[in-house]
Amino acid sequence: MDLVTREELARDPLWVARRLLGCELRSSSPEGDVGVRLVEVEAYRGTDDPASHCYRGRTERNSVMFGPAGHLYVYFVYGMHFCINVVCLTDGVPGAVLLRAGEITTGGELARSRKPAARKDSQLASGPARLAGVLGITREHNGLDLTAPGSPVRLYNGSEVAEDDIRSGPRVGVAAAMDLPWRSWVDGSEAVSAYRRGGRRRTRARA
C-alpha cells in the first residue's frame, strides 16, 4: 500500500474526513503491528469552530493542529483516554480530523490483548478511545508524521469507499456546534460507534 501524501491532507477537514474513510492507519511497536481500516471520522476546523481545541487560539497543547498537515495530534480526555487526529489544512491554519472508529486489518491478536473486554472484534476499535488503545497510541506519539515511511504510525491508502456508502451526521458528545453534520462513517460497518448527542453539561472540546 502507498502512504497518503501530505498534499492530500492539506485541505479542508470536511473533505479530508471523507477521504480518510477506507484508509489504513498502522502502528508499529516492539510488540508488533496493528492496523485499522478507518470507518468513522469527525471534522474539526480551527478558530471558526467552537467545538475545536483551536477555537481560542494557539496554545502549547494544540500547537500540532496548526500544521503542517499529515501529523498526528494526540490528546488526553476525561483523565482516562487518548484520542487521535490527523492534522489538515496548510501550515499555520488549524484543522484536524478525529479518528473515531476502525476495523482491525492487521495484528488482531495484539489488538485483542490490548482490549480484552471487547466482546467481539468489531468492538475493538469502535470509538476514539478504543481506536487509540488498540493501536497503542499515547501522548508520546503526538506530532508524528503519518506520511513518513519510517514513522512508528503511518497512514496508508486503502480500499476506496463509494460515495453511496458514506453517511454523515452530527458530531458526538460536543458541547458546541453540536448539530453540524461533520461526522462521516461507512454505512453498514459494525465498528461504527453509537451516536451520543452533546449538550451543555459537557465542557471539553473534542479536537
Domains of the chain: 6-186 (3.10.300.10)
Q: Can you tell me the mean pLDDT for 86-92?
A: 91
Instruction: Output the pLDDT for position 91.
Output: 83
pLDDT at 205: 47
Q: CA 20 to CA 184: how far, in whole Å? A: 10
Closest among 164, 138, 173 to 152, alpha carbons compared: 138
pLDDT of residue 204: 43
Quote the pLDDT of residue 207.
61
Q: Which residue has the cell 513518513?
A: 148
Q: Give the per-residue pLDDT at 9.
A: 97
Does residue 192 register a pLDDT over 60? Answer: yes
Question: Which backbone phi and psi does 19 adopt, to 5 degrees?
Answer: -65, -35
Give the separation between CA 132 and CA 73, rounded to whole angstroms: 12
Mean pLDDT of the chain: 91
Q: What is the average per-residue pLDDT within 24-52? A: 94
Q: Give pLDDT tens digits for 112-138.
A: 999 999 999 999 999 999 999 999 999
Grid coordinates standing for 97?
A: 480530523
Q: What is the pLDDT of residues 43-52, one digit of tens each?
A: 999 888 888 8
pLDDT band at 202; cut points 50, 70, 90: very low
Other C-beta atoms lying within 10 Å of the C-beta of residue 18 = 16
Report how far apart, in Å, the C-alpha atoms of 73 and of each of 26, 76, 108, 168 are.
15, 10, 24, 23
Report how far residue 206's alpha carbon sits from residue 85's, in angstroms, rounded to the nearest whole number: 10
CA 160 to chain centre: 17
Per-residue pLDDT tens for 148-176?
999 999 999 998 899 999 999 999 988 78
